[in-house]
Amino acid sequence: MSQNPFLLPYVTPHQTAPFDKIANVDFMPALKEGMVEGRREVADIASNPAAPTFENTIVALERSGDLLGKVTSVLFNLNSAETTPELQQLVKEASLLLSEYHNDISLNEPLFARVKAVYDQRASLTLDPESAMLLEKSYKRFARNGANLDETGKARIREIDKELSQLGLQFGENALKETNSFVMPIADEKDLAGLPDYVREAAKATAKEKGLEGWTFTLQAPSYGPFMQHADNRELREKLYLAYNGRSFHGDENDNSAIIQKIVALRYERASLLGYETHADFVLEDSMAGSRDKVQGFLDELVTYARPAAERQLAELTAYAKAHRFPEDTLQAWDSSYYADKLKKEKYDLDDETLKPYFKLDNVLNGAFALAEKLYGITFRERSDIPVYNPEVQTFEVFDADGTFLAVFYGDYFPRTGKRSGAWMNDVRGQRMEAGENIRPHIINVCNFTRPIEATRAGDSASESKPSLLTFGEVTTLFHEFGHALHGILANSQYESLSGTNVPRDFVELPSQVMENWCYDPEALKLFARHYQTDEVIPNELIEKIRVSQNFMAGMATLRQLRFGLVDMYYHSQKPTGETVTAVEDRVDAVANLFPRVAGVATSPAFSHIFAGGYSAGYYSYKWSEVLDADAFAFFEEKGGLDNKAAADSFRRNVLERGGSEKPMELYKKFRGREPSPKAMLRRSGLLAE
């Protein structure tokens, strides 16, 4: 029997992926075997002599491809969190094969004929809402992938999909290379002026790790963010800003400008072939928003609230900077975080250095677990015998209130060379019902937080060891991704393709952003915010400062997010203009950027969300979901916060468990009792005058 771990039964706890036994050489043979098996299953469905029914066609198709799913879930998770050049090459080869495989299914005429036959009789079928949704999604999956096209059109769809898969991978690889390749060594301690001890210690550890003297800063978030926020040396802030915001925009082999033009053009062509006016129309057809006009109107309306507030806040920030001997006439983008941090300290007597001791990573994670238990009755128990892909990864079993096993949860929290930047949630196994058994999911949270500091004793330099201490922004990031994890952990659907986070893009951020709200709740904070040295619970005074400072510079932050959404929509909601990256961003900046444009920088070439991820024509969903989460959290607050069992039970039952089993607005109304109102979000952000 083959020793390829993918082709053997998993004998690990809960049949988790045997990461410790999987080698790169295992992927391609298992992938090809999975395709053979999947094609055989599809052929059996397409050639079934029995009349097409929901069970023998739609459900059978849903259940096919199990082995292939096992392989690809591990492959693409590793490529995001633990990649190597060899693995990246494997992913490129696999993506070409997968593109062809999926097109072979979606363009299979006899198979589509059976799917269409079931779909055409949908009105006479007695299907439950989730099964009706599966039927609709199954038919649209074929139609949206060219099943109704002629042979010429189908052939072109195949070519486009193959090219897009490769371009997206190359875009991500280029951005990762740019992030990893830049280092800013500092030899003179005077250039560290303004930096808190924790930032200096981390930079010292980074230098040691890279075999350099002194201190080293990188473009990883735990290094970049604190330097921009605290460093007195303006020239070095500018240098780091230009490096970060110029990633993949240098006219070299890692430049993504030409790739962007190709991706945008191919997406438009594909949408046109399928009968849509633009790529945005194609993407938004099944979204909660429903149309590009609705999304554009939503973004434009928010700009009318955010820009005046942002202008007032920038004026306040500029006045503060000038009062503190700022030498220039105009603040630049690399000055914003620096002076905002000082102004916040002056206004609220609050900064990250004050708060970080209360946010030890282990405590924050346990706090998220405690919050989940208090709201939903679930518990987490760490295990050390579940295989992991890196020794830093933690693993937990999750149990319901009655002791029923719910999920395996993986936590991966520190930056590495092989891990892309940012934070995300994925699954290694999705949830589904099969032969009467509830197959439970395996969920991963991946983040890039500040590492623990090891004690050093070198010459005159000495430092004490410190655990990973999070900024408040990192705390909200952990809670955000944990909200996505809960969406997966609590999934309780019949069909995997409708389970957990398999929902429209503008609905998927609701559970994650609802979780962020608890970071400002006094009762929730006291579950986990304890001083790492004294174990003192965070004082009420600091909690109040966190709450009153919640809207500090909210107008500027909102305008920045809207800028990303507007850039995305400009690329995808019209016929490609052929304009350069700079020209596109200049257009958007005229509406949604208050800082002077700087030569050599652009957001687009490292905008992996829309060019290497799944957010094209969908980045607006973060703000859209803010409307939902603010309205949803107001429901919790109306009825007692953490003690609001009715709200928690309704949110679990109608949102977290249901995945994409019904239209998102219907699920939201079942939870809330009505459609969402934007007033709660505008009020929370300080953008709505009372």
Residue 252 per-residue DSSP state: S
Handedness of CA 18, 19, 21, 23 (dihedral sign): positive
Tokens for 12?
């690990």
Q: Which of 166, 160, 155, 43 is nearest to 94 (CA)?
A: 166
Hunting for tokens 């875009």 — which residue is that? 171
H-state helical runs in 495-620? 505-517, 522-525, 540-548, 554-572, 581-592, 608-611
Task: Quote the CA–CA distance of 411 and 409 in Å, as a whole number.
Answer: 7
The CA distances from residue 168 to 161, 174, 259, 420, 610, in Å, are 11, 10, 8, 14, 9
User: Which residues pair with residue 381 across a beta bridge?
Assistant: 397
DSSP, collapsed to helix, strand or coil, labels residue 215 as strand
Task: Quote the CA–CA distance of 177 and 516 in Å, as a whole number.
Answer: 31
Task: Quote the CA–CA distance of 470 and 355 in Å, as a whole number.
Answer: 8
For strands 379-383 and 432-434, give the pairing.
unpaired
CA angle 112, 116, 117 (to 5 degrees): 115
Tokens for 479?
């809670």
> What does the DSSP assignment read for 58-90?
IIHHHH--HHHHHHHHHHHHHHHHS--HHHHHH
Task: Quote the CA–CA distance of 394 and 467 in Å, as a whole number.
Answer: 16
Task: Quote the CA–CA distance of 294 and 300 in Å, as a whole number.
Answer: 10
Tokens for 138?
């199954």
Task: Quote the CA–CA distance of 13 and 385 in Å, as a whole number.
Answer: 8
Run of H or E including 185: strand 183-186
Tokens for 526?
């006291």
Residues sharing a CB contact under 8 Å with residue 478, sequence separation 6 or more, in sequence order: 361, 364, 365, 368, 413, 445, 447, 449, 470
Q: Which long-range contacts (CB under 8 A, 24 or more apart) does 177-183 make?
A: 177/254, 178/219, 178/247, 178/248, 178/254, 178/606, 179/218, 179/219, 179/220, 179/247, 179/420, 179/421, 179/606, 180/218, 180/417, 182/218, 182/219, 182/243, 183/210, 183/212, 183/216, 183/217, 183/218
Q: How far is C-alpha 444 from the geometric centre of its chain's CA atoms?
A: 12
Task: Quote the CA–CA distance of 309 and 555 in Å, as a whole number.
Answer: 5
CA dihedral 329, 334, 338, 343 (to 10 degrees): 50
User: Which residues pair with residue 433 across a beta bridge?
Assistant: 438
CB atoms within 10 A of CB 408: 26
Residue 466 per-residue DSSP state: B
Task: Quote the CA–CA distance of 354 and 542 in Å, as a whole number.
Answer: 9
Residues acting as catalytic residues: 481
Question: CB-based burial of residue 124 (10 Å sphere; 0-12 exposed, 13-18 middle, 19+ buried)?
Answer: exposed
Task: Quote the CA–CA distance of 377 and 486 in Å, as a whole number.
Answer: 12
Determine contact, residues 339/326, Cβ cutoff 8 Å: yes
